[in-house]
Amino acid sequence: MRFDTRLVHAGQPPTPGSADLVPPIHVATVYDRFGQPDRRYFYGRGENPTREALEECLAALEEVPYATTFASGQAAAAAVLSLLTPGQTLVCSDDVYGGTHALFDAAARSGVRVTPWDLSLPDAGERLGDAAMVWVESPTNPLLKVTDLAAAARAAHDRGALLVVDNTLAGPALQQPATLGADIVLHSTSKSLAGHLDVIGGALAYHDPDLHARLRDYRTTFGNVPSPFDCHQIHRGLKTLALRVARQCDSARLLAEALQDEPSVSALRYPGLASHPQHRVAERQMRRPGSLLSFVYAGDPEALMRRVRLFAPAVSLGGVRSLIECPALMTHRPVPRPTRLRLGIDDHLIRVSAGIEDPDDLVGDLLAAVRAGGSAAR
């Protein structure tokens, strides 16, 4: 089956005996050990049919045999970091989601050597040293750097390291890192996969059965499982992923093009623009350039976010509603300011997540808000 067909059909077989085209939500926490033919199910913290249906679909979308879902993207990321032991080295993208920064800080306190590096640079593969794990976000959040994933996989595997790719910003509709060599693909399923800003979840996808066993055992031990209802919500959202992402990418491109000549906008970042440093890499490994853009605004970020009507000033991304945020005030506020500035996260950086509203309405709303602030000196 092609990708759009897998979105609708994978993990959705009719329920035996009912011909039900929408599988039910299995809420049971315990199972009759003698009432099931294969006795596969034991306790809801370990096994659940609704959760497994979602995992089957996610694995199919990333073109791997295995996927494991978690209660949040943070929980999924923490599970990956559990594979490291004190003294080992983690080389990671320097520009990552604010919550990932916090997880890396916790890993460092437990004895893991965490080495941030700009993995979008052409010579990044030469800087991996003795890494046991290489963690790539591509595109990154919020600067939208793009890493050559195939090159990163070769460099990591030459050192015997695992390559982890956080695919949250792009999602499987735009890129499939496992097909480019990634060992583990990470998702916050709260974002574009669920798509409606109404559920929290995370997932990992991979080829290796040993990794699958280790990460499932970790989840069962620590209990960070998603609820059956959350899994059902995410699986329902997946059915419209391709349609939503196509509209969002169209709108993001129009927004980026409209902002290019605005005098109060600088450092505009969108992988679909020829001016983006990794534009060619994005063209090669992504089907579309994505639904996010960021820029530095010469005016007051808070005033800008108060002026927009259609963009909700809120964190998260990839949903049907368009969102706007200032990372320094919101998602990356816990990151120390000197670190933010060193990474290029300006106090006036604005990140926009395009939703599925009419593209012309979005462009008009954002341009009006940008222009109303003028080009006041920063």
Q: Which of 185, 179, 178, 126 is nearest to 156 (CA)?
A: 126
The residue from 6, 51, 145, 191 that is catalytic is 191
| 352, containing H or E segment | strand 349-353
* Token pair listed for 319: 């949903």
Please report where in the chains the tokens 């990634």 appear, as a residue. Answer: 182
Q: Is 166 a catalytic residue?
A: yes
Terminal Cα distance for the chain, rounded: 53
Q: Is 97 a catalytic residue?
A: yes
Q: Is 45 a catalytic residue?
A: yes
| Residue 366 vs residues 141, 296, 348: alpha-carbon distances, Å | 21, 14, 16
Strand order in the sheet with 323-325: 265-269, 292-297, 349-353, 323-325, 312-313
| Residue 58 vs residues 203, 257, 360: alpha-carbon distances, Å | 8, 33, 33
Q: Which of 294, 334, 326 is nearest to 101 (CA)?
A: 334
The residue from 31, 41, 66, 97 that is catalytic is 97
The residue from 45, 127, 236, 287 that is catalytic is 45
Question: Which residues carry out catalysis?
Answer: 45, 97, 166, 191
